[in-house]
Amino acid sequence: MKTSELHLVVIGDPLRLDLNEQKLASLIRPLPTAHRSKFRELKQGSAYDCLISPWNEAGTSPEGVLGAIEQYVLSPLREAGFDAAILQTDTAHRRKKVLVADMESTIIEQEMLDELGDLIGKRKVIEDITARAMRGEIDFQQALTERVAMLAGLDAGVLDEVSKRITIMPGARELVATMKANGAYCALVSGGFTVFTERIAQMLGFDEHQANTLEIVDGKITGSVTSPILGRDAKLAALNRIVAEQGVGTDSALAVGDGANDLAMLGVAGLGVAFRAKPRVREAILKSPGGAVITHGDLTALLYLQGYTWGELLPVA
């Protein structure tokens, strides 16, 4: 671990635009074991970063430095309603070469099985199962099988109808476009269905997509999913496969997701981001050396975590 390169990134709500150097200085107490550089503005009013350099004091361990940063820097910022992360990386590996993104409640704002449940009058029961699975309270495969069974007999045309409800998460277009423009390979890997990932991947420019296949026979949804089911382990396998194919290590990968079935890939990626995630996921990622939690920012926050400035984002809104 290179404690000499600790990047502090602070991100606020892009609609409030209430972050500035004066506010940052007032929230951060003096560090007893480290000092920081001047804050750099990544986006006016909502994103800043700086370099924190540990002092070479006798008896100061890397763990002690990080503990002090958590107490004196990160906690006050989070309590004030800002996203704050310490990234332990060198400059060469800060901008990632691979993006592996979950789709539902991450790249798009919906959970598509919940939306299908709404069309058949079963939204509440399906939503409850979805929420429990994403919190890690029940097995993902069991939850998927149970929910899909409720769709048995539906005309496959309902998939086109429900697709009209899809809205793209703010910042998703900029995230994919900017990373691709800077040479990154972008993959959409979802526990949802290929009928939706194919559309979203094409719309946003992902290089590939991977998801479950909803079984359709004679124009009807059978209520089954084609094996094998893509869940937690398959997402991790996809990340490992992609970095190997791209000739880079996992430290050059950025993974983002919101649910318990994303935890494995988030934990392995050089930068694993829990985006507006469930409490269990947030807590786990906060303890991860390469982890960051984004609650207040949109998906452009993932670019700021990598050191991009607003002027480098594509397309610029």
Report pLDDT digits (tens) over 216-252.
999 999 999 999 999 899 999 999 999 999 999 999 9
Asked if pLDDT for residue 32 goes beyond 80, the answer is no
**Coil/strand/helix, residue 203:** helix
Task: Look at residue 125 and tell me whether its pLDDT is greater than 50.
Answer: yes
- Residue 140: how many other CB atoms lie within 10 Å: 19
38 band by pLDDT with thresholds 50, 70 and 90: confident
Whether the predicted pLDDT of 59 surpasses 60: no
Report the pLDDT value the prediction gives residue 315, as an integer from 0 to 100: 74
What residues contact residue 163 under an 8 Å CB cut-off, 6+ apart?
195, 196, 199
pLDDT value at 56 more than 60: no
Angle at 201 between CA 200 and CA 203, to 5 degrees: 60
Q: Percentage of the chain with pLDDT > 70?
A: 94
Tell me what pLDDT residue 64 has: 72
Task: Report the C-alpha gap between 228 and 120 in whole angstroms.
Answer: 26
Q: Which two tokens stand for residue 38?
A: 């001047």
What pLDDT shows up at residue 69? 85
pLDDT bracket for residue 3 (50, 70, 90)? very low
Q: How confident is the model at residue 201 (pLDDT cuts 50, 70, 90)?
A: very high
What's the CA gap between 202 and 88, in Å, rounded? Answer: 34
Indicate if the pLDDT at residue 55 is higher than 70.
no
Contact 141, 225 (CB under 8 A): no
Which is higher by pLDDT, 134 or 13? 13
pLDDT for 66: 78
Q: Work out the percent of the chain whose per-residue pLDDT is above 90.
A: 76
Cα dihedral sign, 243-171-13-35: positive
Do you find a cis peptide bond into 14, omega within 30 degrees of 0? no
- Give this prediction's pTM: 0.93
Mean pLDDT, all residues of the chain: 91
Other C-beta atoms closer than 10 Å to the C-beta of 303 total 25
How much is the pLDDT for 1?
40
The CATH code of the domain at 1-88 is: 3.30.70
Strands (E), 134-232: 185-193, 208-212, 214-217, 220-225
Coil, strand or helix at 209: strand
Query: Distance between alpha carbon 305 and the CA centroid of its chain, in Å?
Result: 11
> What confidence tens digit (pLDDT) does each residue in 152-181 have?
999 999 999 999 999 999 999 999 999 999
Q: State residue 30's pLDDT score.
A: 72
Q: What is the pLDDT of residue 4?
A: 47
Per-residue pLDDT tens for 65-108? 778 888 888 999 999 999 999 998 887 889 999 999 999 999 99
